[in-house]
Structures are given as structure tokens and as C-alpha cells.
Amino acid sequence: MPELIEWPCDFPRCDLLVLQDWAICEYCFEVRCSEHDTDEHHECNSLDSREARKQKKQDSKRSYLAGLLERLQEHATVIIDQASKLHHGLSCNLIIPENTDQLLESGLLAGFNVHFKLNFQDGTKWLLRIRQDQGHRIPLEIRHSNIASEVATLNTLNAGGLPVPAAFLPPSLEQELPFDYFFYEFLEGETWHIPKHPFYSVTLPDEKLVQLVEGYAQIQVKLSQMTIPVNKIGCLRHNSSQELSVGPIIARGCFQKPQSPYLLGPFDTMKDRYLAHIDAALRYIALGAICSWDPVDAYLWHLELRELVSSNGMMAQPLKEVFIKHDDEKGDHIMWNEKGEVVGVLDWEWAYVTSKGEAFSSPYIFYDMQDYIRGSNELTKEEHMLMGCYERQNRPDLVDCVKNGRLYQRLTRIGQYDSAYGKEGFREPFRPIPISDFDPPSSDTDWRVYMMKRYNGEEALQKVMAKYGWSVERAEKEAQEYNKEKK
């Protein structure tokens, strides 16, 4: 699950809480604390082949979906009644597959949500969108904010002429149903599977790639033409007077807190937004919840990011306007008709409003590849194609957003430290850096020593170093040995 919060251990009679990235086992959908995450108490640890793990995951998924179908069947009358009230009192049918095989074959099962068709007597079609929770429902504070924000975003986009469905929150109930959901209009069209290896470009035929880039540009131009009547950074919602407002950011990973109140924001500046994200990551690293494979370097790297963001004057400027940014632009969020025209844009969960520069930087499928990981910030073929689309539409402002987008793209790695990513690649977008004594070495071992000394006044860093058996002396010794071997 994407929420990085405390989950109770599922082992019988254990009351320990688990705070860990992907705490819910991806194979059995159960949570195990460190005491019970052993071969004896957690059978998934004994799965010794890829095939065995795959089968276990499939079995768990089927079991979860079978339970969801049972719960939906049990509450179908309530769902139908709600939908009818939301659509002029017209009667409708809720199409519930008879079993998991039918559901899996329906094409309505996505990564985080599952959909069920509703057909009204006037021919209108809706979808019931239910969030998959792997049997571990997230806290009310997060799930209500999440769904309310997605509905507000969809309706704002729909009113602005974007090809997205109108959405409808269920009427309030005296008793909550055992799943989280809302309704939205059914869109005709198909999505594409976009093959993308982490090291290489999107592998589509040239004609299809051109179509993808042009379709994406078309959507972005429409988004850029929308006026959003707010000026803060966060997720859209409607206040008690049903006016559009900005609430906290509802995000995956470490951009939250492990305990209530979970959500952070809204924010006035990009600097405030990213410092809050970095500080949240530092807290999670200190707790051992993320970056456990390299916690000290991860902590140092986030301290460096914090210093870079803190010193950036552009990010400290208050925003005069904001734009909606889709948070999961994998390419398969775009719907097409048989003529190759864009007819819909899906999956606005976690979307937020932000600066123009961030909102119109290119999506990761257009830049995240081997050279980028090594530290290069050169624009890719796909990005040049995207800029060409904007130039043909006389949008030099959007061209500039692509050209200067690396700063925000690099910051998407907050909470995901990986030494394979060249560190200079993160510094370059911030240059010129207005810090006179900032001159980190190029090698990771020397960099570690440099940063330990630079941030030696950080009490939390000293605790993390002590927790994992690190000292400046140890770092210096390892650097000396590394440099000696290089010679």
C-alpha cells in the first residue's frame, strides 16, 4: 500500500505496530512485525521460487477479490439506491461479476481500484469505483480526504472542458459501508499498454510514439488554459459551502506523518512544500521506515537536498496561479478512440495543484532512463518532441517548463534514496547555488565524510549515525581505503 502509516501486526495476539515501507506483505496481504516476520511465523519468507511467490500473490489477490464481491453483493441495494438518487431518481442495474474469474476478465480491475458498471434506465452508464485495500483499510482521515479530493478534481476538470468523467460522492450514511467508493460517468475508449524499461525509452513504434506525445501535449495545453481560483499548493476539495478550496496533499510514500493528523499542507510556496516533504522523509529514515538498506547516506543526501531547496530563491516566491498536475502519468491514463483521438484522461487520484513549472514538466516516461539515473540532465528525444508540439501551438511558456523541469523531476526521488543515481544530477538544476562553501566531492565515500562534517550540528543525524554504527572516523577510514584501491 502507498500509505506509510502504522499498521497493527496480523499475527494472533500481537499488538505491535509496524511502520515500514510496504508493510503489508505483497504475497499474503498480511502485516508482520519484526518479531513475527520469520520463517516460523510468516510462510512467505519460505517461498523459494519466483513461481511460488507469484502463485501465492495470485491466490491472495483472488481471495481478497472474492471477499470484495461478497461484500458488494451484500450492500448492492444500498449502492443502487444511492446511484438512483444521484441520477434524477432513475432506476439502474449494478453489474456484479459472479466470480473472480469474471472480474479479472472484465478489464475493470486496475492497480489501486476496481470498477463495476451501473446501467440506468435512460441509457446512461456509470462506474462504481472502489479502492482496493488488500484487507487493510486506511484510516478514515486519509480515505475520506482522498476520495473527496479525487471527486473535486474530476468535476473541476470536467467543468473546464477536459475529457474526464463527472464524479459523484455517495450520500452520507448513518453506517459506513465496508469499502471506499464513489461514482463517475463511464467513458468509451481504450487505454494503451505503454512498454517502459527503467533504463530505456518507451518502446513504441515511431507512429505510436508521435501519437502518444501529441495526445499528451493536447491534454497539457487544455490544463494550462484552466483558471483555478486558488493559490496554494495541495489537493483540491470543496469546503462546507461547496466552494473550491485547497486542502493538504494526499500522497503516496513518505509525504505524510505516521500518526494522525497524517496529512501535510496546504502550502504557500514550493519551498515550503518541498521542505515539508524532505523533513518528513528525514523523520521516516530516522524511524527505520524507509531507506533501510542505506540509512545514513540516505539521511545525509536528504540533508543536502534540504540545503539546496532552502537556498533557492525561485522556490520561495508566493504563487499567483496554480495548475492541476496528474500524479501518475504512465501513459496508460490516456483513453483513445479507434481514430487515435484522445477521448478521456483517467486516474486523478493523488492529483494536486502546484506551480506552472512543476505542473508542465515532462512525465517520467519521457525522461526516466539510464543516462538520467547516472546524472545526466540532457533533454531526451521524447522531451524534444513534446517541446515541438508546444511550439507548433505557440506555447513558448510550456516549452520553458519542459526545458527547466529537471529540478522538480529530481525532487520526485525524495524518500527514495538510491546511490545508483548520480548526485551531481540533483545539484545541477539548482545552479547557480548561492552557498559559498558548498563544494561536495564527486565520490560517494568522500561525499559521505564531507556531509557528516558539514551537518555535524544536526542532532538527529548523530542519532541515526550512532544507531547504525557510523562515525566520522569510520567514514574517513572507508574513504581512505577506497581511494587507495582506486590508485
Q: What is the pLDDT of residues 295-313, one digit of tens each?
A: 999 999 999 999 999 999 9
d(CA 481, CA 487): 10
To the nearest whole number, what is the mean pLDDT of the chain? 96
Domains of the chain in sequence order:
1-48 (no CATH), 63-186 (3.30.200), 206-430 (3.90.1200)
In tens, the pLDDT along 41-62 reads: 999 999 999 999 999 999 999 9
Residue 353 · residue 322 · CB < 8 Å: yes
The single-letter DSSP state of residue 332 is T
pLDDT band for 463, please (50, 70, 90 cuts).
very high
pLDDT band for 465, please (50, 70, 90 cuts).
very high
Give the model's pLDDT for residue 60: 97
Give the model's pLDDT for residue 22: 85
Sequence-ordered list of residues with C-beta below 8 angstroms from that of 477, at least 6 positions apart, any chain: none
With cell 438518487, the residue in question is: 85
Among residues 191, 194, 212, 210, the alpha carbon closest in space to that of 202 is found at: 194
DSSP string, 198-242: TTS-B---HHHHHHHHHHHHHHHHHHHTPPPS--SBBEEEE-TTS
In tens, the pLDDT along 4-27 reads: 999 999 999 999 999 998 899 999
DSSP bridge pairs for 445 = none
Residue 300 · residue 464 · CB < 8 Å: no
d(CA 362, CA 212): 13
Give the model's pLDDT for residue 173: 62
d(CA 453, CA 461): 11
- CB atoms closer than 10 angstroms to residue 181: 21
In tens, the pLDDT along 422-445 reads: 999 999 999 999 999 999 999 999
Ramachandran quadrant class, 261 (left: phi over 0; alpha: psi -120 to 50; beta: rest): beta
d(CA 118, CA 120): 7
Give the model's pLDDT for residue 249: 98
Segment 272-292 mean pLDDT? 98
Among residues 277, 315, 307, the alpha carbon closest in space to that of 416 is found at: 277
Residue 321 pLDDT > 70: yes
Residue 1 pLDDT > 60: no
Say what the pTM is: 0.96
Residue 475 grid coordinates: 567514514
With cell 556531509, the residue in question is: 451
d(CA 290, CA 277): 14
pLDDT band for 471, please (50, 70, 90 cuts).
very high
Instruction: Burial-class residue 372 by CB neighbours within 10 Å (0-12, 13-18, 19+).
Output: buried
- CB atoms closer than 10 angstroms to residue 415: 24
Segment 96-124 mean pLDDT? 95
In tens, the pLDDT along 175-193 reads: 689 999 999 999 999 999 8
Give the model's pLDDT for residue 174: 58
